[in-house]
Amino acid sequence: MSASSGKKQEYVFRGIAVAPGVAHGKVCLLARAEPDVPSYPVDEDQVDAEIGRFESAIMSTRQQITNLRTEVSSKLSESEAQIFDAHLLVLEDKALIEETVSEIRSSLYNVELCFNRVAQRYIEFFSNIEDNYIKERANDIRDVTRRLLKNLAGEDHHDLEGLTEAGIVVAPDISPSEAALFDKDKVLAVVSEHGGATGHAVIMARSMGIPAIVNLWKATSRIPAGSEVLVDGYEGTLVLNPTSDTLFRYGEIQVRKDSIRRVFLSELEKPSETLDGQGVTLFANIESADDMKRIRESGARGIGLFRSEGLYLKSNDFPSEEEQYEEYVKVVKGMAGMPVIIRTLDLGGDKVLPKAMIGLEENNPFMGFRAIRFCLKHKEIFKVQLRALLRASAQGDLKIIYPMISGLAELLEANLLLEEAKEELRQKEQAFDEHVEVGTMIEVPSAVQVAADLAHHSDFFSIGTNDLTQYMLAVDRVNDEVAHLYNPAHPAVVRSMKIVIDAANVAKIPVGICGEIAGESIYTPLLLGLGLRELSVTPVTLPEIRYIVRRMDVGDMERLAKQVLECSDPDRIQNILQDFLTEKIEPHIKEALAKLKAGE
């Protein structure tokens, strides 16, 4: 932590940078089922205000419980409602209230901490008494404590829907369904205590251009709601109460980043080809049909991955064939004749739709009932989507891709269902592209091993390195305990990509990549050196990738790939890649920035 002069002390917290950008604003703590207990000192002259907060939280808690009691009494029975009488008694417990007040006065800490301390003492005391009736009292106190803490937070805590003004969301974790509801104008940045760099919520934030940090230890208890913070999504730091010096310094960083971006954007209309004239197709990854104009403006020459489950998560239900058809047509038309690859439903893992997972408690959801596995079990849900996709294929260059294929049998079964869906449309005389291309995502290690077989039954491949990395290295992509082990530069991942590319080349089918590393500049030379000519990337990074492609020589990149394929140390691979990029690109950027400064 660092400190500097100023009214409030400045603190610097570190997490992992997962989505670039800098944001400055007020903290909005995302409320959770379990309330957080913030802990911060208060000045002597703030003690009365803390006690005031306590009193008004007691009042609103009492009101809530009374309302609940009335509701339960009318909908259930008076005896069910009496449980709340016990809760109301807790709120009238003089000892609990007075002890909390004196704890605030003596410790000079905030009310949440003091109240929770006192309440936990009572809970422990009652829990240890060998009398079931008295033990029950511990539960009453626990329940009321939770409710009161939530109300204390209520002044400043919001859930996303309650986010009325722009702010920086700080949360224990963010789910993809929450991220799907992000309003880019309101959510200036996202900071979470948990999660990995390729969790789907992070991917969504990145694609919306929202800076994000994950793995910021105890963020929700250390960063007070409503406080002023600066979030640096490049370095993974959060500055609480930034001083004017810090804001100035970050202002300069932002100016430099903006200038570099202008350099990248200046080449949007130039061909995406290497120095020796080899074309590289740059596609975009998208999560919804909104904002197609922005996607086209990024310079994307098509959509390499449309994660269709966004539609399901947003509505929290299974959209009808018509709703899906409209969404897909919007994308196809939005891309005005360019190719659009739409992935069939990839629910499961960190993307849960409660309705879809009824009665299912999975210990390892990423290894469980996910993606094509779900679709092959729920054939009707799958076929609704297939029909919508097929019908949309009549409107432009639409291709279909299946996620998480782990072997030939799944691919063949999915293709069979696709044939059935086609037949159903023929019966109804509904138009679709009879020759719609169907691809396979290669993102499971077993699929790598049988890539040659899969290639015979696929029109194209797309390598999903986000999952390939997690499954190949057995590192859950959203588990912060093992985030340090998640490394797409691991030789096992790099060599797998080579196997897949070779298999596709032998079968003469196109192969692309749509994992997040396709949009990370450090990997661009390696991916091209391995032979890939189609990269599907997060739209915000697309201009940068194009700039890099245009400054690379295929021979150099093939030598780089050969060196990397022979290397067995992931850290060394990272260094090799970083050095290569710096050597080839840094001088160009320096020169371009100098020209920009000189006003050329």
**Which of 28, 114, 375, 514 is an active site residue?**
514
Let me know: does 402 contact 341? Beta carbons within 8 Å.
no
Beta strands, E only, 123-255:
167-171, 187-192, 212-214, 228-232, 237-240
**Least Å distance between CB 539 and ligand PEP?**
14
CA neighbor of 300 nearest in space, from 260, 258, 342, 339? 339
| Closer CB to Mg ion, 234 or 366, in the complex | 366
Partner that binds at residue 347, options ligand PEP, Mg ion, none, CB closer than 5 to 8 Å by kind:
none
Beta strands, E only, 436-540:
438-442, 460-463, 511-513, 534-537
Site residues for Mg ion per CB under 5 A:
443, 464, 467
**Least Å distance between CB 303 and Mg ion?**
16
Tell me, yes or no, if 200 is annotated catalytic.
Answer: yes
**Least Å distance between CB 144 and ligand PEP?**
42
Partner that binds at residue 515, options Mg ion, ligand PEP, none, CB closer than 5 to 8 Å by kind:
ligand PEP
Q: Which residue is nearest to Mg ion (CB)?
A: 467
**Least Å distance between CB 574 and ligand PEP?**
19
Site residues for ligand PEP per CB under 6 A:
203, 305, 307, 346, 443, 464-467, 514-515
Residues 6+ apart with CB under 8 A from 277: none
**Least Å distance between CB 337 and ligand PEP?**
24
Partner that binds at residue 494, options ligand PEP, Mg ion, none, CB closer than 5 to 8 Å by kind:
none
**211: enclosing H helix or E strand:** none
Tell me, yes or no, if 435 is annotated catalytic.
Answer: no
CA neighbor of 278 nearest in space, from 588, 596, 553? 553
Let me know: does 34 contact 146? Beta carbons within 8 Å.
yes
- The rounded distance, in Å, linking the Cα atoms of 156 and 167 is 11
Instruction: Return the residue matching tokens 């990029």.
Output: 581
CA neighbor of 398 nearest in space, from 344, 365, 430, 437? 437
Partner that binds at residue 392, options ligand PEP, Mg ion, none, CB closer than 5 to 8 Å by kind:
none
Terminal C-alpha separation, the chain: 42
**Least Å distance between CB 285 and ligand PEP?**
7
DSSP classification of residue 23: E
Partner that binds at residue 307, options ligand PEP, Mg ion, none, CB closer than 5 to 8 Å by kind:
ligand PEP
- The rounded distance, in Å, linking the Cα atoms of 116 and 120 is 6
**Least Å distance between CB 305 and ligand PEP?**
6
R_g over Cα of the chain: 27
| Closer CB to Mg ion, 410 or 467, in the complex | 467
Burial tier of 34 (Cβ tally within 10 Å: 0-12, 13-18, 19+): exposed
| Closer CB to Mg ion, 350 or 467, in the complex | 467
| Closer CB to ligand PEP, 346 or 476, in the complex | 346
- The rounded distance, in Å, linking the Cα atoms of 492 and 489 is 8
**Least Å distance between CB 361 and ligand PEP?**
22
| Closer CB to ligand PEP, 101 or 202, in the complex | 202
| Closer CB to ligand PEP, 160 or 371, in the complex | 371
| Closer CB to ligand PEP, 166 or 357, in the complex | 357
Partner that binds at residue 570, options ligand PEP, Mg ion, none, CB closer than 5 to 8 Å by kind:
none
**Which of 194, 200, 375, 490 is an active site residue?**
200
Partner that binds at residue 286, options ligand PEP, Mg ion, none, CB closer than 5 to 8 Å by kind:
none
Three-state DSSP state, 52: helix
Q: Which residue is nearest to ligand PEP (CB)?
A: 464
Partner that binds at residue 212, options ligand PEP, Mg ion, none, CB closer than 5 to 8 Å by kind:
none
| Closer CB to Mg ion, 69 or 477, in the complex | 477
**Least Å distance between CB 203 and ligand PEP?**
6
| Closer CB to ligand PEP, 410 or 443, in the complex | 443
Neighbouring C-beta atoms of residue 239, cutoff 10 Å: 21
Partner that binds at residue 514, options Mg ion, ligand PEP, none, CB closer than 5 to 8 Å by kind:
ligand PEP
**431: enclosing H helix or E strand:** none
Residues 6+ apart with CB under 8 A from 510: 460, 461, 504, 534
Contacts by 315-321 with C-beta closer than 8 Å and gap 24+? 316/177, 316/353, 316/354, 316/355, 317/353, 317/355, 318/353, 318/355, 318/356, 318/381, 318/384, 320/384, 321/384, 321/385, 321/387, 321/388, 321/391
Residues 6+ apart with CB under 8 A from 474: none
Residues with catalytic annotation? 200, 514
